[in-house]
Amino acid sequence: MSISRNPTRSVQIGHLAIGSAHPIVVQSMCATRTQDVHATVAQANDLAAAGAGIVRIAVDNRNDAAALAAIRQNTETTLAVDLQENYRMAELVAPHVEKIRYNPGHLFHHEKQKSWQDKVRYLVDTASKNDCAMRVGVNCGSVDPDKRALYPADDAVSPMVESALEHCDFLDSLSFTRYCVSLKDSNPNRVIDANRRFAGQRPDIPLHLGVTEAGLPPEGIIKTRIAFEQLIGAGIGDTVRVSLTLANDRKADEVRAGHEILHDIYNGRVRSVVRFEPDTLNVISCPSCSRVENEAFVDLAQRVKQMTRYAEAYAITIAVMGCRVNGPGETDDADLGLWCGPKYVNLKRGGEKLGAFTYDEILPRLKRELDDLVDLRSSAPECIVRKKTGA
């Protein structure tokens, strides 16, 4: 299959480069505790051995940053760091990684008296001094609140695109061009729309593609494949990640799935010719990473998937999130949302908090809420409830 890629500029990330002049890079993220140096080094090396060109590590505090320094000394893998809310961690981690990822929607959590522009200036200065590239990572569940307020509640794409474009313009004004962008959502359609719109306005900027919270395989791979086929087939995309909910010993399956999808696309073996229109039960779950505070989250996601099969004929979305960073915001749009803490699982219905339940209590309570939704959808007009039977 002949693909003419968007003419994105080259961005150096350690010993490798991304952009249209270079092969598409498959990435992944460590799910081990960052402070467990031995386990994190082992997983970073496993991911690299499976074909990950870049491995991302989460850093939330100074102890994580100290561990990162030790990790750097024990692996030659190209490392990226995920800052999330605390942008000031950049100066502690930049000496040990090749790329820094920041989320525009998370720049408001610390030092609220400072403008986001001042914070980005600091990030650019830190990256420049430490020979780091950057990623502007826009995520559906944590969009800049000022941008979200400009659009109707049902328009999730426009705030993401506008936020990304605004940050790109500002980085360019600082003469910093060593960056890429990602626009991620759990819905493949919105991933496709957001990246097409962004690439149409800034075809020069490398794009990292991914369907965030794609969930458990095989469904998570299918969702991701749909987005990648339609975007990469149109020449959009320079790096990719398949974000799956997996146990630690299977984390490299993300990388293998990414390479398989790319190989299929370039050999014309594409499977999606229409948009992803889920009219059945949709269980989304975040990729396991070091921010997961209880590894029972992965097992819980599996049990939710199994328990809810009886409702698969109904267009209901259930989100299972593994941490406090992404959980609160990224369960708001689901019909039923679970975000997991160390001992309790927080349950939400349509954004409304229903309480916190132990890992043993949560499934029966979730079933009660799901049964109620099924009853409501069963009594709704036929145009709202689409049964698999086609009735």
**pLDDT score at 295:** 77
pLDDT > 70 in the chain, percent: 93
356 has pLDDT over 80: yes
Q: Are residues 73 and 150 in the same domain?
A: yes
Give the count of domains, the chain. 2
Q: What is the mean pLDDT of residues 248-253?
A: 94
Contact in structure between 362 and 300 (CB atoms under 8 Å): yes
Listed residues 266, 294, 318: the one ending a domain: 266
Residue 199 lies in a domain: yes
Nearest Cα neighbor of 6 from 188, 257, 180 is: 180
**pLDDT score at 278:** 64
Residue 303 lies in a domain: yes
Residue 1 lies in a domain: no
- Which domain range does residue 140 map to? 11-266
Q: What is the mean pLDDT of residues 305-315?
A: 91
328 has pLDDT over 80: no
Q: What is the mean pLDDT of residues 313-319?
A: 89
Q: Are residues 47 and 135 in the same domain?
A: yes
What does the block give as tokens for 323?
Answer: 């941490």
Q: Categorize the per-residue pLDDT at 117 as very low, low, confident or very high, splitting at 50, 70 and 90.
A: very high
The letter for the amino acid at 325 is: V
Q: Categorize the per-residue pLDDT at 274 as very low, low, confident or very high, splitting at 50, 70 and 90.
A: very low
- How far is 280 from 268, CA to CA, in rounded Å? 28
- How far is 34 from 344, CA to CA, in rounded Å? 22
Residue 260 lies in a domain: yes
Q: What is the mean pLDDT of residues 281-310?
A: 83
Averaged confidence pLDDT in the chain: 90
Q: Are residues 79 and 190 in the same domain?
A: yes
Residue 307 lies in a domain: yes
Q: Categorize the per-residue pLDDT at 325 as very low, low, confident or very high, splitting at 50, 70 and 90.
A: low
Q: Are residues 116 and 46 in the same domain?
A: yes
Q: In what order do the strands lie in the sheet with 352-358?
A: 282-285, 317-321, 336-340, 344-349, 352-358
- The string of pLDDT tens digits covering residues 26-60 is 999 999 999 999 999 999 999 999 999 999 999 98
Q: Are residues 238 and 335 in the same domain?
A: no
Strand partners, 135: 101, 180
pTM, two decimals, is 0.82
Q: Are residues 224 and 302 in the same domain?
A: no
376 has pLDDT over 60: yes
Q: Are residues 236 and 293 in the same domain?
A: no
Residue 188 lies in a domain: yes
- The string of pLDDT tens digits covering residues 162-201 is 999 999 999 999 999 999 999 999 999 999 999 999 999 9
**pLDDT score at 391:** 30
- The string of pLDDT tens digits covering residues 337-355 is 998 888 889 999 988 899 9
Q: Categorize the per-residue pLDDT at 231 as very low, low, confident or very high, splitting at 50, 70 and 90.
A: very high
Strand partners, 349: 336, 352
Q: How many CB atoms lie within 10 A of CB 64?
A: 21
Our CA angle for 190, 104, 235, nearest 5°, is: 45
- How far is 245 from 285, CA to CA, in rounded Å? 6
Q: Are residues 259 and 288 in the same domain?
A: no
Q: Are residues 197 and 340 in the same domain?
A: no
Write the CATH number for 286: 3.30.413.10
- How far is 354 from 15, CA to CA, in rounded Å? 49
By CB neighbour count within 10 A (0-12 exposed, 13-18 middle, 19+ buried), where does 321 fall?
buried
Q: Are residues 123 and 98 in the same domain?
A: yes
Q: What is the mean pLDDT of residues 212-229?
A: 92
Listed residues 266, 291, 318: the one ending a domain: 266
Write the CATH number for 168: 3.20.20.20
Q: Are residues 124 and 57 in the same domain?
A: yes
The residue count of the chain comes to 391
> Which stretch of 108-122, 265-279, 352-366 has the lowest confidence by average pLDDT?
265-279
330 has pLDDT over 80: no
Provide φ and ψ at 80, rounded to 5°. Answer: -120, 155
Residue 387 lies in a domain: no
Q: Are residues 242 and 370 in the same domain?
A: no
**pLDDT score at 380:** 64
Cis ω before 104 (30° cut-off from 0):
no
Residue 385 lies in a domain: no
**pLDDT score at 342:** 86
**pLDDT score at 388:** 36
